[in-house]
Amino acid sequence: MRRRANRCVRVTCYYYRVPFHDEPKPPPGKCVGLLWDGRLLLSIQPLASRVLYFAMRTSADVDKLRDFMREIGARARGAGRVYLTGGATALLFGFRARTIDIDIKLDPEPAGVFEAIADLKELLQVNVELASPDDFIPALPGWRERSRFIGRHGSVDFYHYDFYGQALAKVERGHEQDRSDVADMIRTALVDPRELLSLFIQVEPDLVRFPAIDGRELRARLQLLLPQDENEQTE
């Protein structure tokens, strides 16, 4: 096995469960196999109940993200809004150097944007996901008004999705990177822990539509973000 010394590029794996007789063919330009540093090392034949797709794309830095935004604006055939969230927001604020996915929400959807995304995923070698906080938690009241304008490219406006919605989704998921992102949001005054808790309380009854979320545990995590004296008063 050939390896480049002490370096492994992370590769996104797409995994599909499909019936044996419906197993799809690998899409053009994709590999079916084991990748190391962008090289195909071992071919993997589709199994009876699954097939593994490996996409040879790397993580994105802030320059690649800005290229993506400019190209979306140039290629879209109509007006619309693109909300950046997750790692994309973190890149633009300097909280991270790279992100695995560019997560976006389209509302309203610019004409031709899906064709543009499909082309740019290959041209820029980036992973683009249609994902936003309100896919995982109740949408917070006033999220559109709080979403911060980034800029316009062509007829497409780009925004950061509401920082409070992003923070709440990150607190709920609770990964190490999520906790770091929330700490950076609070440190840079993008999010006030008191307001975050208040907004959560307003949508707490809506958690019935999200049965995987433990509301009491989420409230407890939010209370831990409060200044120590206020946190003690809520206990």
Structure tokens at 208: 């019935």
Q: What is the DSSP letter of 79?
A: -
Mean pLDDT taken over the chain: 82
pLDDT class for 234, splitting at 50, 70, 90? low
Distance CA 5, CA 2 (A): 9
CA distances, 84 to each of 115, 130, 133, 181, 194 (Å): 18, 10, 11, 15, 24
CA distance 83 to 103: 8
Please check the confidence at residue 3 and state whether its pLDDT lies above 90: no
DSSP code for 225: T
Task: Find the farthest-apart pair of alpha carbons in the chain and give their distance in angstroms, rounded.
Answer: 62
pLDDT tens, residue by residue, 6-51 = 333 333 333 333 333 333 444 444 444 444 444 444 444 443 333 3
User: How much is the pTM?
Assistant: 0.76
Q: What is the residue extent of each domain of the chain?
A: 12-55, 58-235
Say what the pLDDT of residue 220 is: 98
What pLDDT, on the 0 to 100 scale, is given for residue 23?
Answer: 36
Mean pLDDT for the stretch of residues 123-136: 96
pLDDT of 74 over the 50 cut:
yes
Q: How confident is the model at residue 228 (pLDDT cuts 50, 70, 90)?
A: confident
Whether the Cβ atoms of residue 76 and residue 116 lie closer than 8 Å to each other: yes
